[in-house]
Amino acid sequence: MQRPWATTVQWLAILALAGGLAACSEDPAAITPPTTDADEVVDEIADDVTDDTAVPDTVADGDDVPDATDLDIEETLEEVAVDAAEVGPDAAGCQGPEDCTAKLTLKSCQAAACEEGVCKAVTMPGGCCDDAECDDQVDCTSDICDPATHKCGSEPIANCCSGKVTLLKTGFEAGGLEEFVVSDAATNGNVQWQATNFRAHSGKSALYLGNECRTYDNGMSGDEGCQPGAVGTAVSSQLTSKEYALPKEKSAHLHFWLYLDTEPPYVGTLPKGNCATPCGPSAACISVNGAPQCVPEKDVLSIQVVTADKSAAVFHSTSIGKTTGGNWRHVAVDLSEWAGQNVKLQWQFQTGTALKNGYEGVYLDDIVVETVCAEGTACNATTPCVDDDQACTIDACTTYANLDGAGFCFSDKKVGCCLGNSDCGDGNSCTVDTCVEGTCSHAPDATQPTCCKPEVLLYDDFDTGDLTTWSVKEANSNLAKWRIDPTGGVSGSDALFFGTEAMTGYADAQLVDDGPTGTICSGPVVLKSGTLFDLLTFDLQLVTEWSGQPATAYLNPPFAGQPKFDEFTVQVYYNGVFTQAWSSDTVYGTTEGEWVAVTVPLDAWAGKTVNICLKFDAGDPQTNDEGGVRIDNLVAKVACAKKSCYFDSQCAQMTCANQCGVPACTEAGCACVAKPGCCSSDADCDDANACTVDTCGMDTKCIHSPSNGEGCPG
């Protein structure tokens, strides 16, 4: 008998799983920075010129940071539901791993195991599923799990050497502030430092200063639909590290990655002044009412090195134009001046006013404080970085923000290039990031039900018997055209057919020079974008003049420059243009009268509204009395996974080292499979018969000759 409370928990878990899709739906490209209004700039400057007290210099220290330890029943139930899904309903009751193989969905790196009577998926012995399982305990290597072989490897880390002291290294992957303390002004409202997976330089997370509307305008809130208009207040916030004792005998530096989107500088927006005394690093010389004046810049990020008795500014975002231009930028600070001292590092952001705070804000990632011990890594304009012979690194000098032109060779990774999975973090918790042959791949994570929701975008099994939802885009024959075959479907039901009313072919004797052709298109289909795949699937039966011919004889067109014969294609119609998405070349022009399942990726049009079009072109007026093309069970859908191939022809460019290997599409992708009856050595021909001599012939065929051995027939 089932307990009533168990039913309640199960329903709550299901509801929890169904509610989280929005967490993965944010699109960085959807954020549009506000335009700069010269009148607002003048108003802002006027506030400064007339009222020196307009810019608060003090912030509230010691504000408590909420401790996110309260039990969230919905998250708890969701976690329970995910755990239950991983184990599976039939996972219990095993005696050994052989009882578990059919009960578990295993990755290629996993094996089935039975632990205390419960089936579990474990990493195969000697293998790995991710980089974390490959730690070789060597500080100066990057440990990599090869996603193809599931074997561990390692690569040397640039600028790493024995004796390096790392005082801080964080990428905020734990989802909190790590070892930093925040001091906010009382006016900050909903603008605060927080871990986010909306953007990240590496991994899944970064630290962000802003609000749920992806701005630092505290007059905007999610409860009000993130609409501008409400009057906000000035924002001032400090992010302070713990205290570090810098080694006395070693130089140290701070370096981190910055993504910055704030109000543009005054210079370039307003008339430039000619100030007799140079302005400070966070001020601009502007002509105000015809007179030059140093005016403090707004929305400035600065960094201070704080000791027991003083604070020294080492970076102002005005030095980089108050923006990183939509990219991540490596910022470095030389700390050798403070060798042997105890220091804290402090990031401070101040808007000064509530005007024009609708920009995205500040992101920090991969913050490192470490000593410098590698030789040959200092650089400047005349001493460039030496090529480190690593394919994925940029050997360019990263100049220190507090030194004039001097810097360090960090050998930063090239965007999109990778040595291991850890190089491929895209900041999206709903993707599986892998490195394949030096290129990053970000596939939807099908194991997370909140990240991708399967959905049908278009479905037609043609059983209505009409084509009112389809429209003809191209046709040259009144006899051979797209129509419904009432008994031509997979199970004898209706199907879409191109041909004559007799349903026996697609010949039209009235066409002398050309063969029949026709294109039919669906209504509008809105394809999805994000952490998912867009796929078109259908059942295809194709009988053409290519039927009965071996695949090796397929050459379409037979002669260069001539039209193709009997070709069926899937076309995507978008923005007035037809683009081919699939061709019957993939099945060598025929399915030999069998029904074949076809899958066509539509990811190239993700986020677009398109028409799905089907086209048949006989090419010439001869040999058109074949069976024709039939389509059934056509579906355009959102999928959380897709294969790298669906037909053997998609693997034709693959080369097999063994002469008995032939490229083929398998569940794991393109691979070399053995040709039936083929041999490359005598060992391949052993038939386990002691009375035969087994040899591999010159034609790679096995020869089994009678043996004169004892007990064998004479």
Q: In sequence order, what DSSP letters do the residues of 208-246 get, joined into one string?
A: EEE-TTSSS-TT--GGGTT-BTB-----EEEEE---EE-
CA–CA dist 584, 586 (Å, integer): 5
Question: CB of 194 within 8 A of CB of 162?
Answer: no
| pTM of the shown model | 0.53
d(CA 195, CA 193): 7
Across the range 162-178, mean pLDDT stands at: 87
Whether residue 444 is predicted with pLDDT greater than 90 in this model: the reply is: no
Residues 663, 664, 665: CA angle, nearest 5 degrees: 140
The one-letter code for the residue type at 138 is V
Percentage of the chain modeled with pLDDT above 90: 45
Give the other-Cβ count within 10 Å of 572's Cβ: 23
Choose the weakest-confidence range: 67-76, 134-143, 591-600, 688-697. Answer: 67-76
d(CA 46, CA 233): 17
Distance CA 522, CA 598 (A): 18
- In the chain, the percentage of residues whose pLDDT exceeds 70 is 85
pLDDT of 714 = 64
Decide: 590 and 542 in contact? Cβ < 8 Å.
Answer: yes
Take residue 285 and report the two structure tokens written for it: 């010389």
State the pLDDT at residue 672.
87
Element (H, E) at 119: strand 118-123
DSSP 500: -
Residues β-bridged to residue 692: 706
* Residue type at 678 in one-letter notation: C
Q: What is the mean pLDDT of the chain?
A: 83
Average pLDDT of 375-403? 85
Q: Which domains does the chain have, with CATH numbers?
A: 28-54+163-376 (2.60.120.200), 455-642 (2.60.120.200)
The arithmetic mean of pLDDT across residues 439-452, rounded, is 78
pLDDT level of residue 204 (50, 70, 90 thresholds): confident
pLDDT at 499 over 90: yes
What is the DSSP track for 95-117? Answer: SSGGGTTTTS---TTEEEEEETT
- Chain position carrying tokens 């969701």: 78
Which structure tokens are listed for 69? 């330890």
> Cis link prior to 550 (omega < 30° from 0)?
no
According to DSSP, the residues that pair with 368 across neighbouring strands are: 169, 255
Contact 307, 324 (CB under 8 A): no
Residue range 138-163, pLDDT digits in tens: 767 778 887 767 888 887 776 676 67
For 433, the 3-state DSSP assignment is strand
pLDDT at residue 159 in the model: 67
